[in-house]
Structures are given as structure tokens and as C-alpha cells.
Structure 1
Amino acid sequence: MFMMFAMTSDSVGEIIKEVKVAFDVTNAQASLMHSLPMLGIAMSGLLLGFLADRLGRKTTIIIGLSVFGLACYSFFIANNFVFIVSLMTLSGIAVGIFKTGALALIGDISSSTKQHTATMNGAEAFFGVGAIIGPLIVAWLIHKGVPWQYLYIIAGGICTFLIVVAVWVKYPVYTRNQDDSVKKVSVRQSLSLVKNPYALGFSTGAFLYVAAESAIYVWMPSYLVCDAASLRATYDCYTGGAAQTLAIYSVTAFFILRAAGRFVGIWMMSHFNWALVLMLFSGAIVVCFAGGLMGGKQVALYLFPLTGIFMSVIYPTFNSKGISCFPKHQHGSVAGVILFFTAAGAAAGPFIMGLVSDANGGDAKYGFMVATVFASLLFAGLLFNYLKNPTQRQLEKIEASEYGAA
């Protein structure tokens, strides 16, 4: 599921280049192809996240996958900008449903908060694999003269297979919290979690991280072209064939490094202080962003994709530790809250970067300046988290009550 979602969402930077030419839209308008689906994920995560706790993980996942599959197959008849963006938004709503179910399920199959974090990194590693596959499929389709919309037809086929699997697979026994039996109460309880300091803290971190990360896969392809005035420009400003190849496949290189880092993160989060790792890695992201801006395209060509290594473990750990601060019967709801802020960051970040870039002649460099600010705020927050360790007592409490270990 994570891989399928990533195939579509993380291909948007490559798709935007084609849509801008086909429909003659601005950077800000094209960014809606990313921002509106993320808004759909945000709202469904916040308002429908309780479904995983009320209906159970299995039912919620099947509902979400069914809606996602319908949206994907509808791309077969999508032939205008508004229709395309509408379908992307619908798919985002569906993702918010099945992903909260999947995130809650991770808690059901974990035996400790530490294992929860390692498992979350493993699930997000498959997201990283999908992020590699998706842009490659889009590039291959365009090279062969096939409409990029067929990426969604392929994703729809995978989704159909996943629905069949979800129907027949045996899920862990889940005991529904009786207090959540009324929809109105469940929504209110989900919204009340926003005020919880643990949910709000990790959600804010997720917002800042995703806002910074999205700059890479949304705007890096536009920033690295040699002629900023034309997205059809070649990459002949880079010296050597290897550099030109890296420029063409920079997003893929980023996603390969991010996926590799997440698989390593399964081991890393089981052996090292998670707060220290996140603080150091967020600082490295700031260095890479600042160095890429000061050194220009020739330096950014290497530093921007390199951030994939440092970004790899941040979001899965935010998700895991944030969810692990709550009892299991609230995992779906709190996952929805974190997902809301995640998607809000993914929606707001690229859109703000697009506006800033348009205000400065359309140069994506100015958007990356905004991304550097987001990354700097993230580092400041993670530095505080490492020095003060505000979640230690809560995680120890949940470890004892929910997983049976002190």
C-alpha cells in the first residue's frame, strides 16, 4: 500500500513538467496537482482517522483502497486540468483513509515502542521503493510517447490486487473502544487530540519535515534545468555525461538514497538514540540545502539528492513516536492527526514555494530558500527534543501499559 501510494504522489514533479506545457499553467497553478491531493489526505486523516478505531483496521483499509482504485481507473478518461486535479484530490482522500488504518495496524503487530519504530521505518522503506519506481515509469512512458496518465492505470491494477489480499488476509484481533461508537463523539475526540502536546509536537515536526522534503521531488527537476525559462531545456550546462545523467534522474537518485536509508533505519532505530539521530540528520539537511543554494546548480546537483540519506528516518520516526505516546485504541485517531499535519505541510510547502518563485521571475531557487527556512525550524525543534527529551516519561508509561514491559 505504501509503495503504491508513493508511485503516484512522488511522481508529481515529473508530471508537473508535462502538465505545464500541455495546459499552459503557472507554477502556482501546477502546484495544485500536489497541494490539493495533500489537502485531501489532511482532511480525511483528521476527520476520518477515527474509522480505524471504530470500524477496525481491515474494513477501513478496504474502504480506502476501493476509493483509491476508482480514482486511478478514472484517469483513463481524464483530459483536462480541472478533471485531473479533481481525481488527484479524490485519491488523496482515499489515501488518508487506508493509511490511517495501516498506521494503526502497525501498533497491533508490534510488541514494543522500539519495535514499533523499526517496523514503521520498514513500512516507509517500501514507500521509498514506490517513490523510485513511480518517476521511472513516468519518464519511460513519456519517452515512449505514452500519456503519463497510464501511471495511474498501473497503480489501479496494483490497488485491485491489494483489495483482494486485504479481504482474505487474517488481521490481529482488535478490540474496539466502546466510547467511540458514535461518529460525532469520535470526530470530536479526534479533533481534541490536536491540543495534546505530544500529538501537536510530533505533528508540527511532521509538517516542517514534509514541507522541506517536498521541495526536492516537486521543484528540484525545475531548478536543475539549465534554462529556467524553458522546462524543455537540455542539461548541457553540466560538465560530463555522468553529471547530465544525474541531473535528469536527480529525483530518482534522491528516492534511492531515501529508500536505502529507511531500510538501514530499521536497524539504526533499534540500536541508537532516536532523538540524537534525528537532530544530527536534520542539521545535515540544512547544510545540504544551504550549500546547494550558495554553490548554484552545479553543487545542488549533488547536495540536493544527498538529502535523501538524511531525510530517510525522520518521518517514520515522527509517526512512530507520536503514535506510541498513546494507547492502542487511539492509534487510528492520532495517526489521522499526524497525517493531517503531514499532508498540510506537503500541500502548503510546494504551494508557497511556487508563489515565491513566481514572484521572482519563476526561478525555483527562491522556492528552495523557503524550504531552507522550514528545514532550519525543524532542526531547532529536534535540537530542543534531544536536549530536553520531553516524551521519555510518556513513552515509558505506554511501554508498560500497552506492551507489558517497563
Structure 2
Amino acid sequence: MKNFNIKAVLFLNYFVFAILLNSVGTVILQMQQNFGITKSNASILEGFKDLPIAICSFILASFLPKIGIKNSMLIALFLVSCMCFVMPFADHFWFFKLLFAIVGISFALIKISVFTSIGLVTDNDKEHSSFMGFLEGFFMVGVLMGNVLFSLFIDDSNPKSMTWLNVYWVLGAISVVSFIFLFFSKLNENEAKSENTSLIGDIKNSISLFSYKKVLFFLLCVFLFVLVEQSFQTWTPTFYKEILKVPTSMSIQAGAVLAGAFALGRFLSGFFLRKFAWIYVVSFCAIGFAVSILLVLPLTQNTNISTDAGWLNAPLVVYLFPLMGVFLAPIYPSINSLILSSTPKYLHSSMSGLIVVFSAIGGTIGSIITGSVFEKFTGQHAFYLSLIPLSLLIISAIIMNKFKINPKK
């Protein structure tokens, strides 16, 4: 396989950050149990993760190729490795704020670098779409494995136990391994660099993207999608614990099942995008997810699950809820691949930066809204609200499909 080594490294890097980023739902649940933090206060961890992603992406995107794509990823892996080895000694809420701030900064470097690299290691639009789908699918495998890993360190018999922090020794080791693999890999970055080598020229390239209507509607789609996705990913463990009344470890494992559903959906998107136009895939998935919400959420009302419930004796709704992720999953890689394959490779870094910025903003707002509604009303009300951004997403995608991008270098 062409570029196999660097492709494998991109998968591994994405895997590491999938675990770290999406552990926020687990950490929010543990903060409530270990430190008595309220839902609304715990939800700000999403902001400590996403706002650094947004700010750093905005600052770094236009001239990241000058830092070096490989160098940027190495810096990111070094930072999170150090932080992971500190976390087993965490004894205050501010440690977790710092953790997610560093994870956010590092992920900004990783995601822009990875998205920029895809155009360098693929040869055409279909290969780009397929690789993006598989990469995002592997990201969700990382989320799944992360939830399972965290659940193994949870002590259900002692909710106040801090032994779960030992999971960060494992995560630190994985980060170090990823750093070593990347260090010895080669990546030709020449095509990612603009002919205009000045910083001002790079910034102008980034700003020029806002002049295209297709880009504007695409960014709206990204914002709306992540607003919905992050709400479900972050609050599913708490929903299972407080609404379905299952044990803490099982609540975290439910997040793993949701991630597994996302992974399946994104792997499938790698195949479907080779056969169907992206707009049909996105529209079908958004409508399918909306319908599943209307069918599944009513089943979560007034459930009676025994305290010793497990995956072998749980009610049907316990399985159905996370499986909704199969419908939602293909949307993100579909729209991202479309916009990146529509722009010249020298603009991929800038475009990737915008993707990360609007994803981070959507994730933060979605998590805070969901947490606040969850606290004041119910988890069902919080998730029903996702029907609004889903509707706007379909409309925005249809409008985006009508425009083209023809930038001049």
C-alpha cells in the first residue's frame, strides 16, 4: 500500500487523542462523584478542552506547514505524554481543567496536521473520502477503547475511589509509543506549502476562504453537527447513570458502545461515499438519526433496572440508545472530505484549522446546553433538543451542495 507507514502513524495519532478527548464524559461523571461538582460546573471541562482547540487552531492553521506537519504532531504528543504522567497524582478539580486545556492545544496541532496530511497521502477525491471515513472510524474505535479502558479502573463498590486515575499511566505509555513511531516516519510536506512564503500571505489565504459561500455553509454544518455529536458523547455516561440507573462502570461502557456505533457508521461511510453522492449520505443519516431519537427516547421513560444489571440482563433500550450513533457517524467525514477535496492542497492547513475551530465551538456550546437542560429538566429533554440543529444541518447541507470553490493560487 502506498504511503503505508505514514498512514499507519496518522491512525495511531488519531487513536491516542480519541481516547484523551472523549474521556471528558467519563471525567465529568467522576467529578460529580469524587468532588461533588454539579453538572453545570462539570460541563465547563468541555470548554477547557474545546476553547484551546479553537483558539490554537485559529492562530496556527495558516502557518502550521512552516512549523512542519510532523514537528507539530511530535510537539502535541510530547505535551500530552507529560500531562498523562502527572494525572495519577491529581487531587483537585483544577488538575482536570489543565489536562483538558493541554489536550485541546495538542489536538489542535494533531487534527490540522492529520487533515492536511490526508491530501498528501491520497491521489484522488474518492480515495480522500474513503481514507477520511476510515480514519474517523478508527477515531471512534479509540473512543470505544478509551471508555472500556476507563471502566476497567472504576471501583463500583466505592464511588469516591480515585484509583481510576491510574488509567493515565497507560495513556501516557501509549502517547510515548505514538511519539516514537512518528519520530521515525517520513512525510513529504512540500505540497502543503504555499508559493507565498510570508506569514501575511498565509493569513490572506486563510481569510480568503470566507469569501466562498460553500465554505460558510460548510462551517455552519460542522458547527451544527458537532453540537449534536458532542452532546451525546459527553452526556451518555451521566444519562445511563442517572436516568437508566445502571452501575457507574456500565454507564461508562455505554459510552464505549456509542463509540462502537460511531466507528461502524464511519467505516461504512468509507464504502458508501464511493457509490453515492455525499449529499444523499448526509441527508439519509441526519433523517435516520432524528427518527431514531423519536423512537428510542420515549423508551427511556420510567425504566426499572436492577442495581446488579449487566449487559446480559439489561432492557432493550440500554442497547438501542447508543446504536443511534450509526446514523450520526457518517456525516462528519462526509462533509469534511468534500470541502478538503474541493480546495487546493496548499489551503488544506487553513481549511483544517477552520474545521477544528468550528468543531470546538460547536462541541463546547452543545455540551454546556445539554448539561444545563439535563440539570434543570431531564436527560430526555436535553437530547430532544438535538432535533433543532439536525433540521438546520440538513438545510445547510442542501444549500452548500449548490456552490463551488474556485480559488486562485
**TM score, norm. by length of structure 1:** 0.85
In the other structure, the counterpart of 2:336 is 319
Letter of the 1:59 counterpart: N
From 267, 276, 279, the counterpart of 2:280: 276
Compute the displacement of 1:352 (Å): 1.2
From 107, 122, 129, the counterpart of 2:119: 107
Counterpart-to-counterpart distance in 2, 1:21 and 1:191? 45
Secondary structure of 1:50's counterpart equals: helix
Counterpart-to-counterpart distance in 1, 2:250 and 2:86? 34
Secondary structure of 1:271's counterpart equals: coil
Residue-pair matches, total = 379
Deviations 1:80-128 (A, max 9, x none): 1012112211111111012101110000111111211111111111101
Compute the displacement of 1:194 (Å): 4.0
More displaced, 121-130 or 72-81?
72-81
Counterpart-to-counterpart distance in 2, 1:201 and 1:368? 24
Between the aligned residues of both structures, percent identity stands at: 25
1:172 equivalent to 2:188? Answer: yes
In the other structure, the counterpart of 1:306 is 323
Deviations 1:1-46 (A, max 9, x none): 1111111222222222111121111111111222220111111122
Compute the displacement of 1:51 (Å): 3.6
In the other structure, the counterpart of 1:249 is 253
From 176, 198, 202, the counterpart of 1:160: 176
Secondary structure of 1:68's counterpart equals: helix
Q: Contact between 2:21 and 2:103, CA under 8 Å: does it hold in 1?
A: no
In the other structure, the counterpart of 1:339 is 356
Q: Contact between 1:291 and 1:300, CA under 8 Å: does it hold in 2?
A: no
Counterpart-to-counterpart distance in 1, 2:365 and 2:163? 28
Q: Contact between 2:112 and 2:352, CA under 8 Å: does it hold in 1?
A: yes
Counterpart-to-counterpart distance in 1, 2:204 and 2:43? 32
In the other structure, the counterpart of 1:359 is 376
Counterpart-to-counterpart distance in 2, 1:280 and 1:302? 22
Question: Where does 1:364-379 land on structure 2 (aligned, <5 Å)?
Answer: 364-379=379-394
Deviations 1:312-363 (A, max 9, x none): 2111122211222211011111101011101111111010111223333xx2
Secondary structure of 1:179's counterpart equals: coil
Q: Contact between 1:74 and 1:87, CA under 8 Å: does it hold in 2?
A: no
**TM score, norm. by length of structure 2:** 0.84
Secondary structure of 1:49's counterpart equals: helix
From 212, 231, 243, the counterpart of 1:196: 212
Name stretches of at least 5 consecutive residues in structure 2 with no aligned partner: 1-12, 304-315
Compute the displacement of 1:59 (Å): 1.9
Cα 1:345/1:180, change in 2 over 3 Å: farther
Q: Contact between 1:15 and 1:138, CA under 8 Å: does it hold in 2?
A: no
Compute the displacement of 1:187 (Å): 4.1
Q: Contact between 1:216 and 1:251, CA under 8 Å: does it hold in 2?
A: no
Counterpart-to-counterpart distance in 2, 1:100 and 1:82? 27
Compute the displacement of 1:365 (Å): 2.3
In the other structure, the counterpart of 1:348 is 365
1:31 equivalent to 2:43? Answer: yes
Cα 1:379/1:290, change in 2 over 3 Å: farther
Counterpart-to-counterpart distance in 2, 1:384 and 1:42? 25
Q: Contact between 2:225 and 2:393, CA under 8 Å: does it hold in 1?
A: yes
More displaced, 309-318 or 275-284?
309-318
Cα 1:264/1:364, change in 2 over 3 Å: same
More displaced, 23-32 or 351-360?
351-360
Cα 1:383/1:292, change in 2 over 3 Å: farther
Secondary structure of 1:149's counterpart equals: helix
Q: Contact between 2:155 and 2:163, CA under 8 Å: does it hold in 1?
A: no
How well do the aligned residues superpose, as a CA RMSD in angstroms?
A: 2.7
Q: Contact between 1:34 and 1:347, CA under 8 Å: does it hold in 2?
A: yes
Compute the displacement of 1:169 (Å): 0.8
Cα 1:189/1:71, change in 2 over 3 Å: farther
Q: Contact between 2:43 and 2:368, CA under 8 Å: does it hold in 1?
A: yes
1:235 equivalent to 2:246? Answer: yes
Question: Where does 1:87-236 land on structure 2 (aligned, <5 Å)?
Answer: 87-143=99-155, 147-175=163-191, 176-182=193-199, 185-187=201-203, 189-225=205-241, 227-228=242-243, 234-235=245-246
Cα 1:245/1:133, change in 2 over 3 Å: closer
Compute the displacement of 1:189 (Å): 4.0
Counterpart-to-counterpart distance in 2, 1:97 and 1:194? 22
Compute the displacement of 1:62 (Å): 1.6
From 25, 34, 40, the counterpart of 1:13: 25
Compute the displacement of 1:309 (Å): 1.0
Cα 1:358/1:188, change in 2 over 3 Å: farther
Compute the displacement of 1:191 (Å): 4.5
Letter of the 1:218 counterpart: T
Q: Contact between 2:34 and 2:162, CA under 8 Å: does it hold in 1?
A: no
